[in-house]
Structure 1
Amino acid sequence: MSGNAAAIAEAGAPAPTPGRGIRRIRVPQKLRNLELFLLVIVCAVNAFAVVLVQFGALGAADIGTIITLGAGLSVLVIGMHIALRFVATNADPFILPIAALLNGIGIAMIYRIDIAENLTGWESTAVRQVVWTGLAVAIAIIVILVIRNHRVLQRYTYVAMLVAAILLLLPMLPGIGQEIYGARVWIHIGAFSFQPGEVAKIALAVFFAGYLVSRRDSLSMVGRTVLGMRFPRARDLGPILVLWALSMSIIIFQRDLGTALLYFGLFVVMIYVATGRASWVVLGVGLFLAGAVIAGQVLVYVNDRFTNWLDAFNPDIYNADGGSYQLVQGLFGLANGGLIGTGLGQGRPDITPLAQSDYIIASIGEELGLAGMFAILALYLLFIARGFRISFAGQDDFGRLLGVGLSFTVALQCFIVIGGVTRVIPLTGLTTPFLAAGGSSLVANWIIVALLLRLSDTVRNQPRLVI
């Protein structure tokens, strides 16, 4: 800030008008042109992936399927691009193409597994995935149109908390709650199934951001110093203890270790960013490890997950009901892919249970190899890096925390899923963002895309003082 501007601010005088000490840093339409250029390349890659699947698995191309799967996604993302040209001209140009590319690769791989399982028409998981993608992108466009400034969300901090609590409790209600593969995280109404916990993570990110902004001083400045780290007062431990109890209840009642880890990890990271105190991370990790150890000793479900992870190749565990068969088959698929993979349509990913959802990373690793896996990981890293860059470019604390929370949600979910599939950590059952089959995950992750785009547009439109 210049000396004159500082003096004016201290005197309480009106802020200088644009052109007289303050200017708006506006990026021309080049951002949207760059985004369009990238989207054209992405759409071509997605369509080419479907063609490769057809030639690899069937030996011929089907124009109708290419139009349905390839062109369908292309029309959707171009429609979102057009909306951005009108309501978010300064939004980040890389987030939408990355999300579209991951979504398209996922559709191509799901279609490849449909071919192996002889699924056609509406029975095809790939067709349903395109329909869910249409709904998800439509909701993302609505979010972009309705939320013109991310700061509006701060007004609804406790509303977001209430929404998250309701969404987390819905699967426990008799009549609509549904247990699938041992986890009670679904609601079922007629022919409609949905996993409300996927949307709850966004509501929790909004609540955490608003809560931590208002309580940051007491959480960061007060407490006792032990071994060089300042630990919070007992009264300030309330939020983290509540989240710990919530995570443990999800493990106990919904039998969902991955979601519990995601929610608790999200809060610990956001409180660390808000306060800058490593003691919160130490407390958070310690509480979760203690809870996991207790759950592993008391709950059969958690103990089985750890047993399958530690002794996966034991024949007794491999052949047991709910044993390590899925984990080992996924590892065999990754090993079969080698460095460059078997080629799209030429592997056997369908041998692994849930190859199109929980284990789509193993399916991609088999047919695209280690090189393809690195490319997928690079896309995720770029997406997360752009999210963090947007977050720390902003001037308001709420936007910074919200951006970090949304970006870290994607990062932690990728680590939990890919770590479980590759046997780095116990398998938890979450879905890979944008890639895996599942409408709930798609809707939630495209909402994250919309919020990051809105956040980036708001950040770039902020007035900045001329130095």
Structure 2
Amino acid sequence: MATVLPVYPTTRRNVELLLVLLAVLIAGGAWAVVGLTLDGAVPPNLLAYAGGLGGLAVLLHLLLRWRAKHADPLLLPVATLLNGLGLVMIHRIDQALDTTSASRQFLWSALGIVAAGVVLAFVRDHRVLRRYTWTAAVAGLVLLLLPLVPGLGRTINGARIWIGLGPFSFQPGELAKICLAVFFAGYLVVHRDALSLTGRKVLFLQLPRARDLGPILLAWVASIGILVLQRDLGTSLLFFGLFVAVLYVSTERVSWIVLGLLMFSAAAVFAATTMSHVQARVDIWLNPFTAENRTGSAYQLVQGLYGMANGGLIGTGLGEGRPQTVPYANSDFIYSSLGEELGLVGLFAVLVLYVVLVERGLRTAIGVRDGFGKLLAAGLAFSVTLQVFVVVGGVTRVIPLTGLTMPFLAAGGSSLVSNWIVVALLLRVSDLARRPAAEVRNGPEGDTGVTQAVRIP
């Protein structure tokens, strides 16, 4: 009888380190180009920013060597590069507007990387999170409702999605998406059989039973509630899309996707016909170049489109464009700012980085051995996908503007910290996914789901 030897995947931590250093080198080089273009000299703060970001990323890399040596080697370098490019563009706009947003963004970057390290250090096995399914649901709901608390919530640009803590403001919905991803994964891994194996077939759709529609109905009502109470179109789309995506991954039933699209379409039509702020967004989307809108409500969108058109194929070059003419150029419209100075080629390069990030998350979902980990990794990867689609779609006029921020790139501490936590959780799940089966112990629920090792490249 032939002896079958287990396949032990390489950890590729050295590759990760080289890629992290390359990411910092690219970001540092871009920072230097901005200084040379605008001032004719290398910025004196180059070493502080590049060294600080690189040092923190290397420390997180060393923590992975210690606590998660089998983790995916591409997630950290891609996140570092996106974070670094965001800092460069925010710094470039600071130079034009004489502001200091880049220094605040660097502090948030440091806090985000530290938060990722804390997650990796204390969450030794992602399956432990399954114990807190309903706790995560309550925490997510509380975080979503915090902006509605009188005296705590703040209304910024028409949306009440912020809370104020002294001079600082924070968007709790960014952390809520992580809590809800944990809840969706924990709930659906238990109830997926009832959702996928029961119900009657109508035409080409396998429709679920009425009582099994409860979860998706609650998600639908919650998304509409966010839209009505907080006037936040983007967050409602993100949460509902996240739930439907994880539901499909869990059940593999197209009927859930169809039902989700029908319910979202009904909600969108209702909002577009009855809510003034949604009507305004739709009007801006459909008619941005009318004389009234071009200089009024659609000014931001039109200026962003003009900026990307000015960038053309290869861009004007870092420091050579005028991205500062777009309102909120370093946050809501940072993608159009990059498009003006890096061109279509640069925008596609940035999108490729997001594709790699999401692809590694989905590969982790495929490779991990437990159902909860599969749904958690898939949910976190889909959350990044939906957020990028909503932002890029709004800026390029594919869909109406929604107000979400571009992960890792846009100025804003809450988004940056939460996305670094997302990366940390994906790293933790990928560590178990790439680990040889012989080294995998039964988790808190006592189920690993496999009997032999699987190589995840």
* Alignment TM class, shorter chain as reference: over 0.9
Gaps of 5+ in 2: 438-450
Q: Specify which of 371, 374, 383 is matched with residue 400 of structure 1.
A: 374
Does 2:100 correspond to 1:100? no
Cα deviation for residue 68 of structure 1 reads: 2.5
Equivalenced residue count is 441
| Counterparts of 1:453 and 1:334, CA distance in 2 | 34
| Alpha-carbon separation, structure 1, partners of 2:201 and 2:177 | 33
Match of 1:13 in 2: none
- Amino acid of the structure 2 residue aligned with 1:370: L
**RMSD, matched Cα:** 1.5
2:56 corresponds in structure 1 to 76
**Which of 3, 6, 9 is residue 27 of structure 1 equivalent to?**
9
Q: Cα offset for 1:435?
A: 0.4
Distance apart, 1:28 and its partner CA: 4.1
CA distance in structure 1 between the aligned counterparts of 2:167 and 2:5, rounded to whole angstroms: 56
Question: Which letter maps to 2:216?
Answer: I
Distance in 1 of aligned mates of 2:173 and 2:115: 17
Matched letter for residue 367 of structure 1: E
Tell me the equivalent position of 2:269.
Answer: 293
Identity fraction in percent = 52
Please tell me whether the aligned partners of residues 134 and 183 of structure 2 are also in contact (alpha carbons under 8 angstroms): yes
Q: What is the distance in 2 between the residues matched to 1:224 and 1:401?
A: 25
Query: Distance between the aligned counterparts of 2:203 and 2:416, measured in 1?
Result: 45
Q: Does 1:332 align with 2:306?
A: yes
What is aligned with 2:319?
Answer: 345
Other structure's SS at 1:412 match: helix
The 3-state SS of whatever aligns with 1:465 is coil
8 A contact 1:50–1:69 mirrored in 2: no
Structure 1 letter corresponding to 2:43: D
Aligned to 2:347: 373
Runs of 4+ in structure 1 over 3 Å off: 20-23, 25-29
Q: SS at the partner of 2:9? A: coil
Q: Aligned partner of 2:349: which letter?
A: A
Paired AA for residue 229 in structure 1: L
2:85 matches 1:85: no
| TM-aligned CA deviation for residue 22 of structure 1 | 8.4
1:117 deviation in Å?
A: 0.4
Once residues 220 and 28 of structure 1 are traced to their aligned partners in structure 2, the CA distance between those partners, rounded to angstroms, is: 37
Kindly indicate whether the alpha-carbon contact (under 8 Å) linking 2:126 and 2:429 is maintained by their aligned counterparts in 1.
yes
Please say if 1:52 is aligned against 2:33.
yes
2:238 equivalent to 1:251: no
Describe the superposition over 1:388-439 as per-residue Cα deviations: whole angstroms up to 9, x where unpaired.
Answer: 0011011211111111000010011000000000000000010000000000
TM-score normalized with structure 2 length: 0.94
Check conservation: 2:361, 2:426, Cα contact below 8 A: yes
Q: Secondary structure at the match of 2:186?
A: helix
Query: In the TM superposition, what is the alpha-carbon distance from 1:26 to its structure 2 partner?
Result: 3.8
* Structure 1, gaps ≥5 residues long: 4-19
Distance 2:332 2:261 in 1: 26
> Among 422, 442, 457, which residue is 1:448 paired with?
422
User: Which residue of structure 2 aligns with residue 302 of structure 1?
Assistant: 278
Q: Is the 8 A contact 1:21 1:465 kept in 2?
A: no
Alignment of 1:161 with 2:137, yes or no, is yes
- What is the identity, as a one-letter code, of the residue corresponding to 1:331? L
Measure, in 1, the Cα distance between the counterparts of 2:331 and 2:142: 26
- In 1, Cα distance between equivalents of 2:362 and 2:283: 36
The alignment status of 1:284 with 2:284, answered yes or no, reads no
